[in-house]
Amino acid sequence: MSAALSVDGLEKAFGGVRAVDGVTFDVASGELVALIGPNGAGKSTCFNLINGQLAPDAGRVTLGGEDVTGRPARALARLGVGRTFQVAATFASMTVRENVALALASHAGAATSLLAAGLARFDAAADALLDRVGARELAGRHGATLAYGDVKRVEIALALANAPRLLLMDEPTAGMAPRERGTLMQVAADLARRDAIAVLFTEHDMDVVFGHADRVIVLDRGRIIAQGSPDAIRADPRVREAYLGTDSAG
Amino acid sequence: MIRTFLAALLAAATALGAPAVSAQPIKLGELNSYKVFTAFLEPYKKGMELALAEENKAGGALGRQLEIVSRDDGGTPGDAVRVAEELVSRERVTMLMGTFPSNVGLAVADLANRRKIPFLAAEPLTDKIVWENGNEWTFRLRASTYMQTAMLVPEAAKLGKKRWVIVYPNYEYGQAATATFKQQMIARQSGGLEFIEIATPLGKIDAGPVTQAIADAKPDAIFSSLFGADLARFVREGNLRGVFKDRPVFNLLGGEPEYLDPLKDEAPTGWWVTGYPWYGIDTPAHKRFRDAYQAAFNDYPRLGSIVGYSTVKAAAAAIRKAGSTDPAKIAAALKGLQVDTPFGRIAFRAIDHQSTMGAYVGKVAVRDGKGVMVDWRYADGKDYLPPDDVVRKLRPAK
Amino acid sequence: MTAGAFAVQLLNGLASASSLFLVAAGLTLIFGVTRVVNFAHGSLYMLGAYVAWSVAEALSATPGASGLGFAAAVLGAVLAAAVVGSLVEVLILKRLYAAPELLQLTATFAIVLIVRDVALAIWGAEDLLGRRVPGLDGSIPLGTRSLPEYDAFLIVAGPLVLVALTLLVRRTRFGVQVRAAAENRTIVAALGVDQAKLYTAVFALGAALAGLAGALQLPREPANLAMDLSIIADAFVVTVVGGLGSIPGAFVAALVIGLTKALCIALGSVDVAGVEIAFPKLTLVAEFVVMAIVLAVRPHGFFGTPASLPPSTPLAEQRTLVVAPGRRELAIGAGLVAAFVALPLLSDEYSRVLATDILIATLFAASLRFLMGPAGLTSFGHAAYFGVGAYAAALAAKQGLPMLASMAVAPVAALAAAIVFGWFCVRLSGVYLAMLTLAFAQITWSVVFQWDAVTGGSNGIVGVWPTGTLADATHFSWFTLGVVSIALLALARIAMSPFGQALRGARDSPLRAEAIGIDVRARQWAAFALAGAFAGLAGGLFAFSKGSISPETLAIPRSVDALVMVLLGGLNATFGPVLGAAVFTWGQDLLARATDYWRAALGVAILVIVLVVPNGIGGMWAALRARRGSA
C-alpha cells in the first residue's frame, strides 16, 4: 500500500541557495506529522513545493501513488488535498455558512453555474460540516466580523469540504491565544484520525508539536536532520544543536 | 418605505416634465461645444449676441422678438443629440443651429432629418454634411473643407512644384483636405506630381520628428491642414530646423485670427493661408460690423464672430422669408435664401444647401510683432464648388 | 532613409523622451510613497505651463528683466505647482490615504475637472504660445541637418533631473525617509518620522516636477486647456511601463516610448509585402502598444516588483455582506418599471429621451459594477466594450441587417473583444490591471478613429435609427426598458449564482479560492467577458437611441463616467446602478444648463461624494436604513 503523501528527493534552489536539498519522507493516512526547524530551515519552501505554489527543481510528490509534482493548488484540491494557511484565508464578504457552502459546491463541481439560484442547496451539508469542527453556532455570522480564533475554525471546515485525503496546515495556531491552540489542534487531530486523513503541518509552538504530532520531521538548511516520535526528537542532540545554534547566531 | 419611494419617483417624473411653453418670442435652438473649442466659440457667441441685438432692435421677425436658447453639447455626438432633443421637444425651438466638430454636426443633421426640423450648421467643415450625408433639413454656412482647399489650389498649381509633402491631422477634416488637394492639383498640373503624406494625431503632433521627416523628404513645397496647438508647434519646430526656408508652404485655416494670433512674431512669413484679415477688410458691410462689434465687446472680431453673427442673420432672414415658424416653410425658405453678411451677400444653394460664404486667401506677414494676412483676396464660395452635375452625384437623391 | 537622418530622428526622440520623463518622474515619486495614482498630475503640468507663460510675459514688459524671463518663469511654475500640489494633498488626499485607491483616483479626477475650469477662468480659452528661450533659440548644425538648441537642452535636462532625484533619494535624510516609506510604511512610523509631513513634502516635490515639466514644455507647445488629459495618459503609461514607483524605470520607459514614436515618424509609410503601413499613424497608439507588450511579458513593468505594489485596499463594500434581492427590491423594481412605462404618458418627450439615456447608462454602469463588485476587477477602459457593441450594431444595421439582429450582434462583438483583452488583463491585478484595460481601450479607440473605410473615422456612423414599430420613439423607449430590465435581472441573478459567489470568493481570498479548487484566473476572465458583453448590449441600445455614433463612445471620458456612476450608486446597493446613472445623467443635464462651469461643478460634486459618502448614495441609504433598524 502506498502512503497518502510521499515526498521523494525534493530540491529547490533560489539563486545559489539550496532552500530544500533532497528531502524525502512519507505521511500515512490518519497520521499527524509535524515539519519543524529553525527559521530559514526550508519549511515554508518545502511546504510550498508540496502544495503546488512552487515547482521543484528535482524530486517528486505523490498522492496515494499518483504523481502530482508541480500541479497547481486548485488541481490538488480536486485530488483531495485540503489546506489551511498561516494567515487564515476565508471569504470575508460572505456568511460562514456561505463560505462552507461555496467550498462544498466547488468540490461537487457546482460552482460554475451562471443561472442557478445561489448555494442554498449546500446549506444543510455546510451546517453539518460546521458541526464537525464545533463551529455550528457561527453559521449565520458575517465572515468579516469573526474573531480570529473563529476564523481559524471556519478555515478548517473549508479545508475539509473536499473530503481530503491529505490536510496541509501551515502554522495552524499562529496568531491564536495559547489556550485556543490546543483546542483547535485537538479538533483537527480527532477529525484526521476518525476519517483517516493524513496531516502534515508546520508549527512554531513546540507544545502544539509535541502534544499532537504522531511523528516529527526536523529540517535544517534544507535537509532532514532527524525524524521520529516526539519523545525521540525531544531527546535528539542534533535537534537541540540546530535550534540553539540558530539562537546563538541570531 | 416603498410608498415614499414611489412618491419620490412620481415627484421626479413631474419635475422632469416641461415648463409651460411660452408663446411670445421665437426661439432659436443653438448648441455648440463651448467647453471644447472655446477659443473659436467665445467670439462666436459674441457674434451671435450682436446679431440678435441688432435683429431685435429692428423688430425681430414676424412681429415677434427672437430668443436664442443656447446649450453646451459637450463636443460629443451622443450628448449633442440629447441636447438637440431637449431643444426641440422641451424648448419647442423653431429651428436648430450651431455645432462645431464635424461628427457632432453630422449627428445633429441626421436628427434634424428625423425630427423634421431645420438645422443651420454653422461651423462644421465636413463636405459630407451637404453631400454624402446631405438631407432636406440641413444647411451649412461656412465654406467647407473642399471649398477652402480649392481656394488655395490656384496659387499652389501656379508654382509648378512637383514634389509635395502633405501634413494633416489624422481625422476626417485633414483627410478630406488632403484628398481634395491631391485631386485638384492632379487635375490642374499635368504629370510628374509626387505626394508624400504625413498624418499626425490630432492635438498631439510630435512636431520635432515630423518637421525633421519633412526636411529629410526634401520636398519642393508643403501643404498642411494643421491648426491650433498643432500648428504652433509645427511652425516653431520647423523654423528651428530650417524646414520652411526656400519652400512654399500652404496652410488651410492658417490665417484665421484664432490660430494666427497666438503665433505672434513667429507667424510664418510668406505662407499661403485661408483666413480672416479683419484689420484690412474695408467694405461698408464689414466696417459696420467691425465697429459695432468693437463697440459692444471692446475686442476685435475673430472668424468665430463672423460665423456666429452670420448664422443668426441667416436664421432671422429665413424666418422672415418663410413668413411663418412652420419648420417645413423655414426649410423651404432656406433654399436659395440670400443673406447679407460682413463678407457680403451670400446664398444658400438650393442644389446642396451649402452657403456661398467665402474665405480670404493671402500670405502671412508679421507686422508690429503680430501675424497678419497680406496680399489677400476674397475668394467667393460660389466659385470654388464643383459643377452641378458633380454635386448631384455627390448628394444622393432622397 | 540615410543613417544621418535616422540619427537626428533619434535625437528628436530623446528630447521628447526627456520631457516625458520629467512629467512621469513626479507621478511615480508620489505613487511610490503615498500610493496615490494622481490623475491631477497632468493638471499641475498644465498649471506649470500657464504660470510660466504669465511670469515670462510679465517680465518681458519690465525693461531689463526679460533676460531673466525664462529662469524666473520656470521657478515661478515650479513654486506654483508645488503650492497647489500641497494644498490638494493637505485639503483632500490627506483624508483619503486609508481609503481604497479607487476613491483616491476618483478624487484626483475631480481635481482635473476643477483645475481646467479654473485655468479657463484665469487664462481664457486662447492657446498661449510661450516665448523662445534667449540663448536657446537657435539650432546646432549637424551636417546638413540641425538640432534645435532647446532640444539639446532638454536632452541634457532629463538625465540631470534623474541624477538629482537619485542623489536626493540616496544621499539625504529626506531620501532615506522616502525610500523607507516606499518599502514599508510601518518602518516609517517606527523611525519616528512625521508621516503626514513626509507625504505633504513628497507631494509638493512631485507637483513641483510636474510644474517644471510644464514650464519646460512651454517653448515647444502653447499652453492650452487640453494639456492636462493629453499628457496624463502618456505619463501613466511611462510610469506603469517603468514599474510603479521606480524613477529609473520611468526614465527607461520614457526613452523607449520617445524613441519608438520618433522611429514611427522616421519610417514613414513603408511597403511591407504589398501592404502599405503608415507608421506615422501609429504614433497615436505607440505608447499603448509598448505598454501592452511590456505588461504581457513583465506584469510589473521594467523595474517594478510585485512587492512594490502593496495589496490593494478593498472598498469597504467589498467586505460587506451581500444579500440577495428580496421581495422589497422586487416591488421597488416593479415600481420603477411602471413609472417608466407611464412616463411618456405623463410628461413631455424630453423626459422620455432623458429616461432612455438613464436606462442605457444604468446597464452600462451595472456591467462595470459586476466587474468591480463580485469580480473585484477595476477597469478604466470599460467604454471599449460599450463602444465595440455600439459600432457592431451600427455596422450590422448599415449592412442591411434588421434592427433586432443588429442589436443582437452588439453583445456578441463586445464579448469577443472582452475575451481577447480579458485574457491579458486578468493576468494582472490592481493598478496594473486598470492601466492595461485603459491601454486596450485606447488601442481600440485609435483603431476606430483611424480606420476610416470601416468605422467612418472621426465622423463615425450616421443614420442608425430604429425601424418598424420601434421607429416610434415611445415604443423604442419601452423596448429599451424591456431589454435593460431583463439584462439587469440577469446580472443580478448571475451575481448571486454559484458562479457569482465563486467570483466573490476569488476576490475575497484568491489563495483560499484556489485551495478549494476554484480556478481564479479563469473565473475572472469569464467575468470580464460577461461584463463586456453586457456593456456591449448597452452600446447597441445607445447606437439606436442616438442615431449616430462616433469614436467618443469608447473614449476615456466615457469610461470615467461609468466609474463615477458606479461609485455614486454604491457597489452593493441593489439599485446602485440606477441611482448612479440617474443622478449622474440628470445632474449633468441640469448643471450644463445652469452654469458655464459645469465641469468644475461636477468635480466638486464628485469630491463631496468621495469625502462625505464614500459608499455612494446607495450605500448611504443602506447605512441609514440599518441605523434606523437598530435604533
Of C450, C546, C547, the CB nearest to B170: C450
Give the DSSP letter string of C524-593.
Answer: HHHHHHHHHHHHHHHHHHHHHHHEEE-GGGGSHHHHHHHHHHHHHH-SS-TTHHHHHHHHHHHHHHHHHH
Q: Is C400 on the interface with A (CB under 8 A)?
A: no
Of B6, B101, B209, the CB nearest to C261: B209
For residue B331 the three cell numbers come to: 426649410
Q: What is the pLDDT of residue B15?
A: 47
Q: How far apart are CA A102 and CA C498, in angstroms?
A: 7
Half-sphere exposure of B357 (CA within 13 A, CB side): 29
Q: What is the pLDDT of residue C36?
A: 84
Return the SS3 of A223. strand
Q: pLDDT-based confidence at B6, cuts 50/70/90?
A: very low
Chain C residue with CA closest to A119: the answer is C498
Q: What is the pLDDT of residue C66?
A: 56
Task: Evaluate whether B364 touches B267 at the Cβ level (below 8 Å).
Answer: yes
What's this model's pTM, rounded to 2 decimal places?
0.87
At position C254, the amino acid (one-letter code) is A
Nearest Cα neighbor of A98 from C494, C374, C322, C510 is C322
Domain regions of chain A by residue span: 5-90+146-249
| Domains, chain C | 3-267+276-308 (no CATH), 316-630 (1.10.3470)
Q: pLDDT-based confidence at B384, cuts 50/70/90?
A: very high
| Domains, chain B | 23-144+282-359 (3.40.50.2300), 146-280+360-388 (3.40.50.2300)
Q: Is B220 on the interface with C (CB under 8 A)?
A: no
Q: Which residue has the cell 517653448?
A: C219
The nearest CA of chain A is from the CA of C48 a distance in Å of 45
Nearest Cα neighbor of C107 from C519, C607, C624 is C607
* Interior angle at CA C449, CA C447 and CA C450, nearest 5: 70
Q: Is A50 on the interface with C (CB under 8 A)?
A: no
Range in C58-67, C173-182, C237-246 with the lowest mean pLDDT: C58-67
Work out the end-to-end distance of chain B between its first and last CA atoms, rounded to an integer number of angstroms: 55
Of residues C412 and A132, more confidently modeled: C412
Q: What is the pLDDT of residue A1?
A: 47
Give the DSSP letter string of C147-173.
Answer: EEHHHHHHHHHHHHHHHHHHHHHHHSH
Q: What is the pLDDT of residue B204?
A: 82
All partners of chain B with 3 or more CB pairs under 8 angstroms: C
ipTM over 0.85: yes
Q: What is the mean predicted confidence (pLDDT) over C194-219?
A: 92
Q: Is C197 on the interface with A (CB under 8 A)?
A: no
Return the SS3 of A193. helix
Q: Looking at the predicted structure, is the pLDDT value of residue C473 above 70?
A: yes
The residues, any chain, with a CB within 8 Å of residue B132's CB and separated by 6 or more, are B394, B395, B396
Q: Which residue has the cell 463551529?
A: A135
Q: What is the pLDDT of residue C501?
A: 92
CB contact under 8 A, C546 and B1: no
Q: Looking at the predicted structure, is the pLDDT value of residue C544 above 90?
A: yes
Q: What is the mean predicted confidence (pLDDT) over A191-216?
A: 90
Residues of C in contact with B2 (CB under 8 A): 328, 331-332, 335
Q: Looking at the predicted structure, is the pLDDT value of residue A17 above 90?
A: no
Q: What is the pLDDT of residue C275?
A: 74
Of B17, B34, B173, the CB nearest to C348: B17
Return the SS3 of C487. helix
Q: What is the mean predicted confidence (pLDDT) over A197-219?
A: 91
Range in A167-176, B5-14, C266-275, C280-289 with the lowest mean pLDDT: B5-14
C421-431 tens-digit pLDDT: 999 888 888 77
The residues, any chain, with a CB within 8 Å of residue C91's CB and separated by 6 or more, are none
Q: What is the mean predicted confidence (pLDDT) over C120-147?
A: 83
Query: What one-character DSSP code corresponds to residue B86?
Result: I
The answer to whether B and A touch (≥3 CB pairs < 8 Å) is no
Task: Evaluate whether C256 touches C238 at the Cβ level (below 8 Å).
Answer: no
CB contact under 8 A, B10 and C589: no
For residue C164, how far is the Cα from the chain centroid? 30
CB contact under 8 A, C515 and A114: no
Q: Is A139 on the interface with C (CB under 8 A)?
A: no
Of C268, C284, C332, the CB nearest to B201: C284
Q: Which long-range contacts (CB under 8 A, 24 or more apart) does A247-250 make?
A: A247/A38, A250/A39
Task: Evaluate whether B343 touches B380 at the Cβ level (below 8 Å).
Answer: no
DSSP E strands in chain A: the ranges are 5-14, 17-27, 32-36, 58-63, 66-67, 81-84, 166-170, 198-202, 215-220, 223-228
The nearest CA of chain C is from the CA of A239 a distance in Å of 33
Residues of C in contact with A115 (CB under 8 A): 490, 493-494, 497
A195-204, B139-148, C88-97, C136-145, range with greatest mean pLDDT = B139-148
The nearest CA of chain B is from the CA of C154 a distance in Å of 12
CB contact under 8 A, B229 and C150: no
Residues of B in contact with C460 (CB under 8 A): 77, 103, 106-107
Of residues B352 and C588, more confidently modeled: B352
Q: Is A125 on the interface with C (CB under 8 A)?
A: no
Q: What is the pLDDT of residue C190?
A: 67
Work out the end-to-end distance of chain C between its first and last CA atoms, rounded to an integer number of angstroms: 79
CB contact under 8 A, A106 and C324: no
- Topology annotation, domain A5-90+146-249: Rossmann fold (3.40.50)
* Torsion (CA) C554, C559, C561, C567 in degrees, nearest 10: 160
Q: Looking at the predicted structure, is the pLDDT value of residue B379 above 50?
A: yes
Q: What is the pLDDT of residue C64?
A: 63
Task: Evaluate whether B196 touches B138 at the Cβ level (below 8 Å).
Answer: no
For residue A225 the three cell numbers come to: 536532520
B182-196, C286-300, C395-409, range with greatest mean pLDDT = C395-409
Q: Is C515 on the interface with A (CB under 8 A)?
A: yes
Task: Evaluate whether B274 touches B155 at the Cβ level (below 8 Å).
Answer: no
10 Å CB burial of residue C314 (0-12, 13-18, 19+) is middle
Q: pLDDT-based confidence at C187, cuts 50/70/90?
A: low
CB contact under 8 A, B17 and C346: yes
| pLDDT above 90 coverage of chain C, percent | 40
CB contact under 8 A, B72 and C598: yes
Residues of B in contact with C355 (CB under 8 A): 16
Q: pLDDT-based confidence at B120, cuts 50/70/90?
A: very high
Q: Is A111 on the interface with C (CB under 8 A)?
A: yes
Sign for the CA dihedral angle at A111, A116, A120, A121 comes to negative
C294-314 tens-digit pLDDT: 888 888 888 877 655 555 666
Q: Looking at the predicted structure, is the pLDDT value of residue B162 above 60?
A: yes
C427-455 tens-digit pLDDT: 888 777 887 898 889 889 988 988 888 89
Residues of B in contact with C232 (CB under 8 A): none
Q: What is the pLDDT of residue A245?
A: 59
Q: Is A102 on the interface with C (CB under 8 A)?
A: yes
Q: How far apart are CA B314 and CA B321, in angstroms?
A: 10
Q: Is A77 on the interface with C (CB under 8 A)?
A: yes
Q: How far apart are CA C51 and CA C81, in angstroms?
A: 9
Range in B57-66, B352-361, C208-217, C347-356 with the lowest mean pLDDT: C347-356
Q: Looking at the predicted structure, is the pLDDT value of residue A96 above 90?
A: yes
Q: Which residue has the cell 524605470?
A: C249
Q: How many CB atoms lie under 10 A from the CB of residue C592?
A: 21
Q: What is the pLDDT of residue C313?
A: 62
Q: Is B239 on the interface with C (CB under 8 A)?
A: no
Q: Is C497 on the interface with A (CB under 8 A)?
A: yes
Instruction: Indicate left, alpha or beta for A27 from its phi (over 0: left) and psi (-120 to 50: alpha).
Output: beta
C339-359 tens-digit pLDDT: 888 887 777 788 888 899 999
Q: What is the mean predicted confidence (pLDDT) over C503-524?
A: 92
Q: Is B336 on the interface with C (CB under 8 A)?
A: no
* Torsion (CA) C163, C169, C174, C178 in degrees, nearest 10: 140
CB contact under 8 A, C219 and B76: no
Q: What is the mean predicted confidence (pLDDT) over C32-43?
A: 87
The nearest CA of chain C is from the CA of B309 a distance in Å of 20
Q: How far apart are CA C560 and CA B95, in angstroms?
A: 33
Q: Is C353 on the interface with A (CB under 8 A)?
A: no
- Give which of C323, C512, C521, C524 to mutate to test A binding, by max A Cβ within 10 Å: C512
Q: How far apart are CA C201 and CA C199, in angstroms?
A: 5
Q: pLDDT-based confidence at C386, cuts 50/70/90?
A: very high
Nearest Cα neighbor of B48 from B247, B306, B239 is B306
For residue A177 the three cell numbers come to: 491565544
Return the SS3 of B169. strand
Q: Is B35 on the interface with C (CB under 8 A)?
A: yes
